[in-house]
Copies of this chain bind each other. A is one copy, B any other.
Amino acid sequence: MSLLDRIAACRAWQPEAYRPFVIGGEAIGYIRHDFAARLRDFPRVFEVNDRAVLLDAKLGDFATRSAAIAEVLAVLRDEGEISGWRDEAYPVVQSWGEAPRLEMERAAVPKFGVRGFGVHMNGYIRRTEGIEMWVGRRAKTKPTGPGKLDQLVAGGQPIGIGIRENMIKECQEEAGIPPALAQRVTAVGAVSYRCERPEGLRDDVLYCFDLELPEDFTPQNTDGEVEAFYLWSLDRVIEVLSTGEDFKFNCALVAIDFLLRRGFIEPDWRDYTALMHGLRLPQ
């Protein structure tokens, strides 16, 4: 068991189990063959052949595409094919900031293997003995990673809100960090990965932020999505990361990135270069 196992878990997928999802001639996602077969039931929306799933070319703009997909997804949700419904629209893009091809309910994003985006924040305090990190335990009711360890604050990045704005909003909801304090978050980069998960293919970019908190600050969850918060030494963080899958798969990457950026893992360490390069996929 090592940190490299956490990276490997975020890269494990079988391309041969998928076919491209194509919009306007552009491959923008990956759909499992069994789900592709299911989409044959919606011939006015999808053209399904052995090599790809194409969004019908008659659906030519954002609004008509989004409405057509929403109708299909409602049926699939009612049949239990899509679970963990969030009522949160994600833009379908290759890169954040592009004109979205359509919008799609968050829970469906991994079923179509389109790129998802999120914001994760490392909350920490600085003591004489060193940095300590706040770690959250996800509620057992969460549709993904129930009961797993997480950053102090993390959330999906829906359509129609800026990344920084969303990060600050999540700070309030997930940890009760007031905006005046949350505004001090520092953007520190991003991690990315593509892997098979129970919910489908996760092909995500997570924008990472750090926030140094006052020693007397105690996080308070306000949205029921966090069961508990712990304040851990970085030694403890690295030990938990190294020895098992207690951290949610993608939160492990964000935590490793923090350890690398803060010099807690040094380049003379054997796996350093592999870890550095494992945190991001070519985009």
A interface residues with partner B (beta carbon < 8 Å): 95-97, 162-164, 185-190, 192, 205, 207, 209, 260-263, 265-268, 270, 272-274, 276-277, 280-283
Contacts and interface: CB of A to CB of B under 8 A. Distances in A.
Interface pairs A-B: 10 shortest CB-CB: A186-B263, A187-B263, A163-B267, A207-B267, A277-B283, A190-B276, A187-B266, A162-B268, A163-B268, A188-B261
Task: Give how many copies assemble into the complex.
Answer: 2
Contact of A189 (B96, B185, B261): B261
Contacts of A187: 260, 263, 265-267
A234 to B, nearest CB: 13
Given A263-B186, A280-B277, A270 B97 contact: yes
A277 B192 contact: yes
Given A268-B162, A277-B282, A188 B263 contact: yes
A277 B188 CA distance: 13
Contacts of A272: 96-97, 190
Contacts of A273: 95-97, 190, 205, 283
Nearest to A157: B267
Contacts of A97: 268, 270, 272-273
Given A162-B268, A260-B188, A280 B276 contact: yes
A259 B35 CA distance: 42
Nearest to A94: B273
A53 B277 CA distance: 28
A22 to B, nearest CB: 22
A192 B185 CA distance: 27
Given A96-B273, A273-B283, A280-B280, A266 B188 contact: no
Contacts of A207: 267
A146 B267 CA distance: 28
Contacts of A270: 97
A281 B280 CA distance: 9
A266 B208 CA distance: 10
A187 B277 CA distance: 15
Nearest to A115: B273
19 contacts: A95-B273, A96-B273, A97-B272, A163-B267, A187-B265, A187-B266, A188-B260, A188-B261, A188-B262, A188-B263, A189-B261, A190-B276, A190-B277, A209-B263, A273-B283, A276-B280, A277-B280, A280-B280, A282-B282
